[in-house]
Amino acid sequence: MKIWLNGSIVDGGEAVISVYDHGFLYGLGLFETFRTYGGEPYLLERHLDRLRGGCMELGIPFAMKADELRREITALLAANGLADGYIRLTVSAGVGELGLPVGDYSDPTVLILAKSLPVVGVDALRRGRELRLLRTRRNSPEGTVRFKSLHYMNNIIAKREMLGLNGRDRTEQIASLPSPGAEGLMLSRDGWLTEGIVSNLFFLRQGVIYTPCIETGILPGVTRARVIELARDTGYEVEEGLYTWEQLLEAEEVWLTNSIQELVPVTRLIDWDGLERKVGIGEAGALTLELLDMYRSDTEAATL
């Protein structure tokens, strides 16, 4: 696989990052994941705005413009023989002295990775996925709002819990193994719904769309924000607030969002004890599919 590192496209196996890079030593860096449609990165400016804001707060200079990034992504896709792809843009603090930083950085490490996109068939979309309640709680945000940071430990621990891999002696048991593509759901320290391991959460009840508010400590997802806009522009009521697992169990539809998978229908909810609750009729809901169509139409319009 070819990668882009600090201005050059090289073989991934030949790329070198210093052991003194503070992204490696302290997890000090940020990243964005997004996908291209017709070769065009969707909502790129929004991803860059979030990335720049985080870099500024961490004292990491990052001045790459959208047009420059588009050119580099186009070149990287071509180098990997991809018409479209899953893109990860990483900005690490760069090389520093051993020890916690005492000032701003000057020379960040910038990395772009590209790989093929997952394929989801119509039947799989209709069947939806399961969402499993986890005991791992969402940690507090690193700053005023959550960064999409290289320090991904909370998400990894949550993923390991879902797969039954937590526990020093590996003897901790989970009620049941997750089905392929399942997502885990974390609560806040106060017991409120937050988000999935790699997704934001929405649900529909009595004609109102609900999604946990930013104050719960969730990542302010770019796709989440766009779906809220599309829903409101179409006349749907969207409420951002504090909600419980019990309220989610009463939902008529549930879906997840992220920039790679778009909107993902949830058709089964599973609690800590392995008890399963069907969402609606057990298939992707009408509103979920309507919003997915609207979202995909928006991606097409953005590439014209």
pLDDT score of 142: 81
| Whether the predicted model's global pTM rises above the 0.85 cut | yes
The string of pLDDT tens digits covering residues 62-118 is 999 999 999 999 999 999 999 999 999 999 999 999 999 889 999 999 999 999 999
- pLDDT higher for 260 or 304? 260
CATH topology of domain 2-115: D-amino Acid Aminotransferase; Chain A, domain 1 (3.30.470)
Rg (CA), the chain: 20
Distance of CA 68 to the CA centre of its chain: 24
Is the pLDDT at 127 greater than 50, yes or no? yes
pLDDT score of 171: 45
Is the pLDDT at 170 greater than 80, yes or no? no
Ranges 16-20, 82-86, 113-117, 140-144: which has the least confidence: 140-144
Q: What is the mean pLDDT of residues 170-176?
A: 62
pLDDT score of 144: 81
Query: CA 283, 285, 287: angle at the middle one, nearest 5?
Result: 165
pLDDT score of 302: 85
- pLDDT higher for 140 or 237? 237
- pLDDT higher for 180 or 264? 264
Of the candidates 219, 266, 16, 274, the one whose C-alpha atom is nearest the C-alpha of residue 124 is 266
Is the pLDDT at 121 greater than 50, yes or no? yes
Of the candidates 5, 91, 87, the one whose C-alpha atom is nearest the C-alpha of residue 54 is 91
Count CB neighbours of 288 within 10 A.
Answer: 26
- With beta carbons less than 8 A apart as the criterion, state whether 139 and 154 touch: yes
Distance between CA atoms of 140 and 104, rounded to whole angstroms?
A: 24
Domain with CATH 3.20.10.10 in the chain: 122-302
Domain with CATH 3.30.470.10 in the chain: 2-115
Q: List the beta bridge partners of residue 237.
A: 208
Secondary structure E strands in the chain: 2-5, 8-11, 29-37, 40-41, 86-92, 109-115, 129-137, 183-187, 193-196, 200-205, 208-212, 237-241, 253-258, 262-270, 276-278
Name the burial class of residue 79, with classes exposed (0-12), middle (13-18) and buried (19+) by CB atoms within 10 angstroms of its CB.
middle
Distances (CA, A) of 90 to 6, 53, 64, 186: 11, 14, 12, 25
Distance between CA atoms of 87 and 62, rounded to whole angstroms?
A: 18
Is the pLDDT at 16 greater than 90, yes or no? yes
DSSP state of 9: E
Which CATH number applies to 122-302? 3.20.10.10
pLDDT band for position 304 (50/70/90)?
Answer: confident
Is the pLDDT at 168 greater than 80, yes or no? no
- pLDDT higher for 45 or 302? 45
Is the pLDDT at 172 greater than 80, yes or no? no
pLDDT score of 167: 64
Q: Average per-residue pLDDT in the chain? A: 95
The string of pLDDT tens digits covering residues 258-291 is 999 999 999 999 999 999 999 999 999 999 999 9
Q: Kind of pairing, strands 40-41 and 262-270?
A: unpaired
Q: What is the mean pLDDT of residues 225-249?
A: 99
Distance between CA atoms of 3 and 12, rounded to whole angstroms?
A: 5
CA dihedral 94, 97, 102, 106 (to 10 degrees): -30
Retrieve residue 229's tokens. 């806009």
Q: What is the mean pLDDT of residues 46-73?
A: 97
pLDDT band for position 173 (50/70/90)?
Answer: low
State the distance between the two ends of the chain, measured CA to CA, in whole angstroms. Answer: 29
Query: CA 235, 236, 241: angle at the middle one, nearest 5?
Result: 135
